Structure 1
Amino acid sequence: MGTSATSTVVVVGSGLAGFGVLRELRRLSPEARLVMVTLEDGHFYSKPALSTALAKGKTSETLVTTPAEKMIANLKLDARIGREAEAIDRAGKALLTTGGPIQYDSLILATGAEPVRPQIGGDAAHRAISVNQLEHYDRFRKELPDGARVLIIGAGLVGTEFANDLITNGYRPIVVDMLDNPLAQLVPPAVGEKVRDTLQEKGVEWHLGRKVDAIDYLQPSPGYVATLDDGTRVEADVVLSAVGLRPNVELAREAGLEIGRGIKVNEFGQTSDRDIYAIGDCAEYPNGLAAYVTPIMAAARGIAPSALGTPTQIRFPPLSVQVKTTVFPINLLPPAMALRGEWRQVESDAEGDKHLFVDSDNRVQGYVLTQGKCEQRMEMDKLMGKWHERNARR
């Protein structure tokens, strides 16, 4: 049964996913009551910009692209700023918050993801900063002395982008990761090695195949000393934790919704409760997690009409990613994590490299472009879209 244009849709979260679906909802229904519940201040900003903000001279204030007041006015929102969503009363169709219950016709969870906190010993382990929100970046900048040595735990996408941002702006990053190369879960080893070597030439210090056992206060001077699992001691002024994100599913789990790695949703973005949807970093779509900008926008275009009563299937375009390493540009479309296959280098010259991921059925399921080859991104995305359509018809 569809909902009317005057229905109440409650959205939990004010990140890109929350505001993305709110924009689509308002575009489709000028009259619907849209309620936004968020613990944050409600300002709109680009979270991917946090790892490149130094190079762009951004502060936490200038990262805000649209203040909360303007977003609220433009989208005609009933905004509950600084309110925590405590529980979902599914039978009564109410979101229970620190400001009281809110009735809904449709509820959309855009609760995002939270930083993974590795088990690290030492009296200063709690001082490691995970930059996943504007307030985290504000703290990071305030604690960052000029020319600081910055220990980065994790050499995945975020850690490598921060290393690039820091080294190109006069800081001294030291990166520790248990894997053998940066971006090891996204790119073939040959590309990871080139990223490692290029950033090392610029001044990045790598400790790969290692992990941080403890972080202690450096005595008697300010700062920290990290002890690695081989006994190496690394001194730093700031410690940045970039070991990954975990979908924030607790609200959904406590409500009895089906949970996998994230909140499980169908092709319409519906959870196991037909009146509750999930979008963004917290959602696990039929093909898995999709924690990037492109899938969030695609999901919003499907979930908004569905939440208003017109079931609309989410259609994801090829989900390619631009890695923001300016000293060694990379564009990639990563294959699904569980997919079996191999990387094949198909081009390598002065302009850069091109690799294709080919599965066990000899189908292309991903690509990596480096340096000048990055110009092929649009062409590759079109080809990947055609290949996927052809494979789906088999």
Structure 2
Amino acid sequence: MAGSPHVVVVGSGLAGYGVLRELRKLSPDATLTLVTLDDGHFYSKPALSTAFAKGKIADTLVTTPAAKMVTQLRLDLRAGREAEAIDREGRLLLTTGGPIDYDTLVLALGADPVRPAVDGDGAHRALAVNNLDQYRTFREALPDAARVLIMGGGLVGTEFANDLVSAGYRPIVVDMLAHPLAQLVPAGVGDRVRDALAEQGVAWHLGRKVVAIDKVGAGLRATLDDGRVIDAEAALSAVGLRPHTRLAAEAGLEISRGIKVDVTGRTSDPHIYAIGDCAEYVQGLAAYVTPIMAAARAIAPSALGTPTEIRFPTLSVQVKTTHHPVVLLPAPVGQAGAWACEIDDERGARWLFRDGDGTVLGYVLTRDRCQERMDMDKLVSGQMQQAAA
């Protein structure tokens, strides 16, 4: 890329700032512009689901204020601006603050909370907590020891249940599936997580869904599909996230579940890249911290003119359920195989997911056995390399 390149990044989460850090390391002279609808402060989004127990308010979750990020990375920060459209031919990003030209555009748009179809005049009061402002709104509206209806028992819902009960609130989790974390772990693990959190005071309604939420005074009353009624002071929607693809789709970029990218993170437009929760890599969606950082290390040189392949390490995940710790490597989506419990004793459990050839492609560790994470990552990585050879 001749001269001093201008790279525009849309999104100030871990993905956006991760790319900007790598870009600045590689190119002291590049012009870097960050466009964000937020205020540009840097914080850890995964910390949102552990913040209640730690007594954190929204302001104390900020690890680096926007002004300091601007100074450190020598950014042109366009905060409070919405990216409205992309003029690919003219290489212009159209924003609510006016057009911005780019040599390379990096989309770090994140994902949007899925809104469940729920009837009732209180349905709109079911809040999603996917950014700092949403956390602030949720926390400030929550009375002490409140009953909190949580719709969704996946990763986010279960982590929030653990966090809220640890902080003295009374979570009530409703999920259509049979056990918590059902899309990630076998029933034997999910049942243990359920029981451990139930001992702390979490109420579970599994195999059920909320069909209506109505206002009752200052509180809410939820009706389940079996007619049962649940009263609560607040409701949290945690039924999942959907990659933010609208901006890319309207610009004519190739879209599937997310914004399709190649092995370097480049979209179907050679001047546009995508990273993080909005991106669909060759391997599929990868919405965790480790793949974001790996992608940033490759996308930065690629955006500056040196195509670099993204190399994901083994993508294991720590589930932040302190009352029953879990570390897991999810089984590949659509992969034929089966979970088997290898060991279950006073130290915890170890489950392995094997394909038809006996190759270990996933694992779950609980409690003290979470310390075996690095060894398991090495085992799985080695077996997958052998299988590919």
Give the TM-score, by structure 1 length: 0.98
Alignment of 1:1-80 (within 5 A): 3-4=1-2, 6-80=4-78
Once the two structures are TM-superposed, the CA of residue 391 in structure 1 deviates from its matched residue by 2.1
Q: How many residues align?
A: 389
CA distance in 1, matches of 2:58, 2:166: 19
Tell me which amino acid in the other structure corresponds to 2:378.
K
Residue 149 of structure 2 aligns to a residue whose secondary structure is strand
Query: Quick one: distance in 2 between partners of 1:386 and 1:336?
Result: 16
* CA displacement at 1:132 relative to structure 2: 0.1
Q: CA deviation at 1:278?
A: 0.2
Tell me by how many angstroms 1:5 deviates: 5.7
Task: Measure how far apart 1:309 and its partner are.
Answer: 0.3
Partner of 2:227: 231
Which position in structure 1 is the counterpart of 2:155?
A: 157
CA contact (8 A) 1:223 1:237 kept: yes
Residue matched to 1:336? 332
Instruction: Report what 2:136 is aligned to.
Output: 138
Q: Percent identity?
A: 66
The superposition leaves residues 340-363 of structure 1 with CA deviations (integer Å, 9 ceiling, x where unpaired) of 111011111110100011123321
One-letter code aligned to 1:138 = R
Tell me if structure 1 keeps the 8 A contact 2:290–2:315. yes
Which 5+ residue runs of structure 2 have no aligned equivalent? Answer: none
CA contact (8 A) 1:4 1:309 kept: no
Kindly indicate whether residue 131 of structure 2 is the aligned counterpart of residue 123 of structure 1.
Answer: no
- Within-5 A mapping of 1:120-269: 120-218=118-216, 221-269=217-265
CA distance in 2, matches of 1:248, 1:127: 22
Matches within 5 A, 1:84-95: 84-95=82-93
**Secondary structure at the counterpart of residue 30 of structure 1:** coil
Alpha carbons 1:5, 1:29 under 8 Å: kept: no
Residues 91, 102 of structure 2: 8 Å contact kept? yes
Per-residue CA deviations over 1:151-193 (Å, capped at 9, x if unaligned) read 0000000000010011111110000000000000000110001
Give the Cα–Cα distance (whole angstroms) in 2 for the partners of residues 98 and 286 of structure 1. Answer: 32
* SS at 1:380 equivalent: helix
Mark the CA change 1:36 to 1:101 in structure 2 (over 3 Å): closer, same or farther. Answer: same
Secondary structure at the counterpart of residue 60 of structure 2: coil
Task: Letter of the 1:170 partner, please give it.
Answer: G
Match of 2:375 among 358, 375, 379: 379
Q: Could you tell me which amino acid in structure 1 is paired with residue 79 of structure 2?
A: I
- Which residue identity lines up with residue 48 of structure 1 in the other structure? P
For the aligned residue pairs, the C-alpha RMSD in angstroms reads: 0.8
Query: Of the candidates 317, 335, 342, which is equivalent to residue 313 of structure 2?
Result: 317
Contact kept? 2:359, 2:384, Cα under 8 Å: no
3-state SS of paired residue (2:59) = coil
Q: Which stretch has the larger CA shift, 354-363 or 199-208?
A: 354-363
- Please tell me the residue identity of whatever aligns with 2:350: K
Match in the other structure for 1:354: 350
How far, CA to CA, are the matches of 2:3 and 2:70 in structure 1?
19
Are 1:270 and 2:266 an aligned pair?
yes
- Gaps (5+ residues) in structure 1? none
Q: 1:182 is matched by which residue type in structure 2?
A: P
Deviation at 1:123, TM superposition (A): 0.3
Normalization by structure 2: what TM-score? Answer: 0.99
What SS class does the counterpart of residue 161 from structure 1 fall into? helix
Q: CA deviation at 1:381?
A: 1.2
| Distance apart, 1:4 and its partner CA | 3.4
Task: Tell whether 2:102 aligns with 1:104.
Answer: yes
Q: How far apart, in 1, do the equivalents of 2:357 and 2:112 lie?
A: 36
| d(CA) in 2 for partners of 1:58, 1:90 | 42
Q: Hey, what's the Cα distance between the residues in 1 that align with 2:387 and 2:94?
A: 45
Question: 1:103 and 1:164 mapped to 2: Cα distance?
Answer: 45
Q: Please, which moves more after superposition, 247-256 or 195-204? A: 195-204
Distance in 2 between the 1:207 and 1:5 partners?
Answer: 60
| 2:280 is aligned with 1:284 | yes
